[in-house]
Amino acid sequence: MKIQCIAVDDEPLALKKLASYIEKIPFLELVAECRSAFEAMSAINDNKIQLLFIDINMPNLSGLEFVKSLTIKPFVVFTTAYSEYAIEGFQVEAVDYLLKPISFENFLKAANKVKNLIDLTTTQQKESIKRKANHLFVKSEYKLIRIELDDIKYLESQHEYVKIHLINNAPVLTQITLKGIEEQLPAEQFMRVHRSFIVNLKRVSVIERNRIVFDGKVYIPVSDQYKKKFQEFIDKNFI
């Protein structure tokens, strides 16, 4: 699976170079080219961005200020023409710092650093959840928690975490992607209906305008991508 990323730079030529570098690397997918931090904000809100290539010195809202403002941060590679920003860049846990003019060799090294980190995180996440018969064992904070599959209402993606919503207990937050936990769930009982939600089909009782309703107050949308499969479930189970 490709790493979804965006390039952010207020200089058109610098932005074009970043985009061309991204497109040369097979494991990267360029989702958006942004001329400002505000454009980047919209791109991050609308997509599941894993990697951000961003210039530090931009008008109105700098790259540093923008990254600091993010509640959930993707991996970050800063770009800039000013070497004095390097220390401050690493203070916000940037993966790398590229000094302009950026060579493709250095850009590729930075991209590989991110890929290695994502591969390591994915491996660790897969080890953090195990399914046994009719239950899961998940790591949450410093605890290993047993969760019965039938007690799950739905699962919600929160970037690199998943919140498991339960019938009679508080939600459980575990560090794994929604795709990672989806692979551990029985397909006959759980269905992905949106890029951010998986539902327990046994707990689906109310459907309203292409939305699944839980407890009369939680509305989970069924996106176009999953609508056909969910409609087949409705046809088989609802009169």
pLDDT for 151-199, tens place per residue? 999 999 987 789 999 998 999 998 888 888 888 888 899 999 998 999 9
Assess whether pLDDT exceeds 80 at residue 87: no
How far is residue 212's CA from residue 205's CA, in Å, rounded to a whole number? Answer: 8
pTM over 0.95: no
Q: Where are the domains of the chain?
A: 3-125, 129-237
The predicted pLDDT at position 193 comes to 95
Same topology, domains 3-125 and 129-237? Answer is no
pLDDT reported for residue 178: 86
Superfamily of domain 129-237: LytTr DNA-binding domain (2.40.50.1020)
Cα-Cα-Cα-Cα dihedral of 27, 174, 124, 188, to 10°?
A: -70
Q: How much of the chain, in percent, has pLDDT values that exceed 70? A: 90
Express as a percent the part of the chain with pLDDT over 90.
Answer: 53
The residue among 164, 155, 159 whose CA lies nearest residue 212 is 155
pLDDT at 139 (0 to 100):
80
Whether 85 has a pLDDT exceeding 60, the answer reads no
3-125 CATH pick, 2.60.40.290, 3.30.70.260, 2.30.130.40, 3.40.50.2300: 3.40.50.2300
- Would the pLDDT of 125 be above 90? no
Please, are residues 199 and 191 in contact by the beta-carbon 8 Å criterion? yes
Helix axes 12-24, 104-127, angle to 10 degrees: 60
More confident residue, 34 or 93: 34
Which structure tokens are listed for 228? 């056909």
User: Looking at the predicted structure, is the pLDDT value of residue 145 above 90?
Assistant: no
Whether the predicted pLDDT of 16 surpasses 80: yes
Model confidence at 127, in pLDDT bands (50, 70, 90)?
low
Gap between the Cα atoms of 67 and 26, Å rounded: 26
* Eight-state DSSP code of residue 216: T
**Locate tokens 């897969």: which residue?**
126
3-state secondary structure 39-86: HHHHHHHHCCCCEEEEECCCCCCCHHHHHHHCCCCCEEEEEECCHHHH
End-to-end CA, the chain: 39
The rounded mean pLDDT for the chain is 87
